[in-house]
Homo-oligomer: A and B are copies of this chain.
């Protein structure tokens, strides 16, 4: 893990870019962090491999770090700062076009996001290994964001103690099946009128999780309309399970 740049923000949060082999990542640490008191870690991923530099993810990461967590995000294969393929670009464009036209997107989604999850999860595990080797980071570990990756990680990675998942209307078949194997505490957040996430499918997914402690939060509005107080609620959820 090589740190390539760092920046201290006004709220005390230290933001560092890193590379881990081919994987580019960002690590946010709370201003209060010191080597003597390692902080819990939250892995934060954006749905469907959107870039880690996307402003909504950065805002969420900085808020969460300021609450006392180490927060890490990485770019998924083919996304963000990583080499892009023409095939990936075409698949993303196809999904966008089909959604806008109100056409079925399941098959395009399955053929693009399914393999993306398969490739992304081992990279998150490699990143987790490297992060937990840092003296300033302790356990336990939470996960926040991209639902499909969260399901797979929670199913295969015993170090993940709690997860906050967002949306979940479109999730690859493999992860819809794996949802039953997930048993950690969950906060499942959805937007009631999310134009890109069919509501009933998201509710069915919430129903499918094997977790005994699972909470659904839904708010009126579209995909990007999540109210700010849900960030506080997320902090309180992780506070109950990671602190």
Instruction: Determine the distance from Cα of A232 to Cα of B217 in the docked complex, in whole angstroms.
Output: 15
Residue of B nearest to A229 (CB): B240
Instruction: Determine the distance from Cα of A236 to Cα of B240 in the docked complex, in whole angstroms.
Output: 16
Instruction: Determine the distance from Cα of A44 to Cα of B198 in the docked complex, in whole angstroms.
Output: 35
Contact with B along A223-239 (1 / 0, CB 8 A): 00001010011001000
Contact with B along A174-218 (1 / 0, CB 8 A): 000000000000000000100000000001001100011111111
Q: Which of B207, B217, B218, B236 contacts A229 (CB 8 A)?
A: B236
* Majority SS at the chain A contact face: mixed
Not counting A215-B217, A218-B218, a sample of 14 additional A-B residue pairs whose C-beta atoms are within 8 angstroms of each other reads A192-B206, A192-B207, A192-B216, A203-B203, A211-B220, A213-B227, A215-B218, A215-B220, A216-B217, A216-B218, A229-B236, A229-B240, A232-B236, A233-B233
A residues contacting B by CB (< 8 A) are 192, 203, 206-207, 211-220, 227, 229, 232-233, 236, 240
Name 17 interchain pairs, CB-CB below 8 A, sorted by A: A192-B206, A192-B207, A192-B214, A206-B218, A211-B220, A212-B220, A214-B220, A215-B218, A215-B219, A215-B227, A216-B216, A216-B217, A216-B218, A216-B219, A218-B218, A229-B236, A232-B236
